[in-house]
Amino acid sequence: MTKKMKKRMHRIIIGGIVFFASIILTKILPTLNQNIELMLFLAAYFIVGGDVVKKAVQNIGHGQIFDENFLMMIATVGAFLVGEYPEGVAVMLFYQVGELFQSYAVNRSRKSIADLMDIRPDYANVYRNNEVIEVDPGEVQIAETILVKPGERVPLDGIVTKGNTSLDTMALTGESVPREVGLNDEVISGCVNITGVIEIKVTKEFKESTVSKILDLVENAASKKSESENFISKFAKYYTPIVVICAVLLAIIPPVIIGGGFESWIYRALTFLVISCPCALVISIPLSFFGGIGGAGKVGVLIKGSNYLEAMAETQIVVMDKTGTLTKGNFKVNEVYAVNGDTKELLELTAYAEYYSNHPISISLKEAYGKEIDDSKLREVEELAGHGVHAVIGEREIYVGNTRLMEQQGVVYKEVESFGTVIHVSELNKYLGYITIADEIKDDAKVAIQGLKAAGIQKIVMLTGDRQITADYVARELGITDVYAELLPGDKVDRMEELLQEKSGNGKLVFVGDGMNDAPVLARADIGIAMGGLGSDAAIEAADIVIMTDEPSKIAKAMKISKKTLRIVKQNIVFAIGIKVLVLVLAAFGLTNMWAAVFADVGVAVIAILNAMRAMKTSEL
């Protein structure tokens, strides 16, 4: 419980005691002086609601008149003016009880997201002048070496240069199984070191690190409001002044037209104001989305704003990249064919050409070569987007890439009909041979496609730059019927434009990629989802939603969370507005009093908030 909540609770308890003591005293002493009675109830009123009156006056001074503090002040002060002292205090007391409960609910909902904020490292142990000193993570430079002991949080992204250990990644991924790391393995900031002492060579400054980008994402999530939240904000903006005007008219017009005293109608108008307080809507709707975002964060799905969470419920088309999304991206060389029969030389030339690339295919080629590469032999390396690599190795000019590259260079290449990615190699226009590399389908991929179909997705499409034969194989295994292969990055965007035209109504198109080379497509989709956000800057920056693990099945889970959250939001809107309208009508006709009104208002708020808190529970999805 926060300090502010404790202060409010103490105020409620003390004010409540004074209030009930005043009621008992007036019952025991019916001849009690009216001024003393007024002073007793005023004391209880200001103990309980002094802060509300203060806020209302301050807001009026700032030009913000029509808010819930103003409504409470007018209604309760009015009750005192017509002689209903106990009711005036009771309205304020139960309003504060409702606010306390609301604060507790919001605080609990925020904790689910605030848990992510615990990934922020407090310090880094860095080697300087042959000793280890403790510094702020922001002061550590690239290429410096840091020491991380068991129980400490990894402060910066880097590569393990000494030791091995287990890392707890739950705060980032939602996964309880530790990740084993050793020499030359990449580690990311935000994880907790569990067992061994490790040394890490820093590869990114703190402001560019994974933890920094995730913290920025979480901190800004609340600023991107959903259509429902924007509707409620606009609704409250016009609703509150309208009910105040209606209350004034209710207090003045009937007694003027019908005749009789003003006191009864003023009482009805004050009751009308108490009921009209829109806090049930204004709080429960954002709370529902906040809970949904927090619940998703617990299972390793980071959603950048409630607008994206809401949009997920309207998904009609899901477009998925293949490599790194549906397949593991762990490529292995399974065939080397050299025209001259020297497979070792072919593998060596290919590994040298791919030396500077960190693409999974390049890594697999270097691993297959298995020897140290003398980069002094590399005179020139040029990446040819969507085609391959051009490199000058010693005196030899080598081209390594796909069939498009061979055709572009006028090379007559060998057609290869086998599952996997084929890398062709040529020296200028002389064909040297090919290397085939196979990629495994993720264990989770089939479950993911089944989950999307069960969620009612109308169309699932796979886009890939890989060969048609490989794409068709993966699609058949997973049950995907719409496949587009051999696409350049620009082709993917063009295909995306065509698919966007197929949507109907408010339907949304979701693109799922590995976040490494899909930034243009992620940005063009209605909702971009990046897979495997761990260590992927492009994933965190370009996508609207980041799956922090390599499990595509979490996409369907995110959609379920979205639909559940939206269902709760609609329930709260219908319930709150329905009850408000009903009791407002009863109040206008004098069929309810202020006691019933305050219970109806606080009751509606409590029920709506309890319902909103259900959005945090994702274990049953």
What is the per-residue pLDDT for 98? 72
Mean of per-residue pLDDT scores for the chain: 82
Average pLDDT of span 331-347: 90
Which of these, 43, 56, 58, 31, lies nearest to 88 by C-alpha position?
43
Query: In 85-209, which residue ranges form alpha helices assigned H by DSSP?
Result: 85-117, 170-173
pTM for the predicted model, two decimal places:
0.67
* pLDDT at residue number 112: 53
Mean pLDDT of 216-225: 58
Which stretch, 59-73, 163-177, 180-194, 269-283, has highest mean pLDDT?
A: 180-194
- Spatial contact of 44 and 19, defined as CB atoms under 8 Å apart: yes
Rounded Cα gap, residues 510 and 218, in angstroms: 21
Residues marked active site are found at: 321
Residue 482: band (very low, low, confident or very high) from pLDDT cuts 50, 70, 90: very high
For residue 276, give the 3-state DSSP assignment: helix
Average pLDDT over residues 592-615: 78
User: In the chain, what are the domain boundaries?
Assistant: 3-114+222-289+564-616, 124-155+157-203, 302-328+441-548, 332-438
Q: By 3-state DSSP, what share of the chain in percent is helix, strand and coil, each rounded to 5?
A: 55, 20, 30
The predicted pLDDT at position 221 comes to: 53
Collapse the DSSP code of 318 into the 3-class scheme (helix H, G, I; strand E, B; otherwise coil) and give the result.
Answer: strand
Q: How far apart are CA 247 and CA 268, in angstroms?
A: 8
Q: What is the pLDDT of residue 317?
A: 94
The predicted pLDDT at position 390 comes to 93
8 Å CB contact between 608 and 575: yes
To the question of domain 332-438 being in CATH 3.40.1110.10, the answer is yes
Which one is the CATH code of 124-155+157-203: 3.40.1190.20, 2.70.150.10, 2.60.120.10, 3.30.70.1350?
2.70.150.10
Helices assigned H by DSSP within 354-444: 360-369, 403-408
Per-residue confidence (pLDDT) for residue 374, from 0 to 100: 87
pLDDT at 219 over 60: no
pLDDT of residue 160: 94
Q: Which of 597, 599, 60 is nearest to 276 (CA)?
A: 597
For the cut 60, the answer to whether the pLDDT of residue 222 exceeds it is no
- Find out if CATH 3.40.50.1000 is the number for domain 302-328+441-548: yes
Contact between residue 400 and residue 354 where contact means Cβ atoms under 8 Å apart: yes
Give the number of C-alpha atoms closer than 13 A to the C-alpha of residue 258, restricted to the C-beta side: 11
Residue 426 CA to residue 396 CA, distance in Å, equals: 10
Query: When comparing pLDDT for 173 and 147, which is higher?
Result: 147
pLDDT single digits (tens) 143-165 = 999 999 998 989 999 999 999 99
pLDDT at residue 47 greater than cutoff 80: yes
Distance CA 160, CA 139 (A): 20
Most confident option among 159-168, 206-215, 274-283, 510-519 = 159-168
pLDDT band at 535 (very low <50, low <70, confident <90, very high): very low
Better-scored residue on pLDDT, 82 or 6: 6
Measured on CA atoms in the order 253, 257, 263, 265, is the torsion positive or negative?
negative
- pLDDT of residue 536 exceeding 70, the answer is no
pLDDT tens by residue, 90-145: 878 877 887 777 676 666 655 555 555 556 788 999 999 889 999 999 899 999 99
The pLDDT-based confidence of 516 (bands split at 50, 70, 90) is low
Task: Say what the pLDDT of residue 156 is.
Answer: 92
Residue 552 has pLDDT above 80, yes or no: yes
**pLDDT per residue as tens digits for the range 295-310:** 888 888 888 888 888 8
What's the average model confidence in pLDDT over 231-252?
76
- Contact status, residue 416 vs residue 321, Cβ threshold 8 Å: no
Beta carbons of 163 and 198 less than 8 angstroms apart: yes
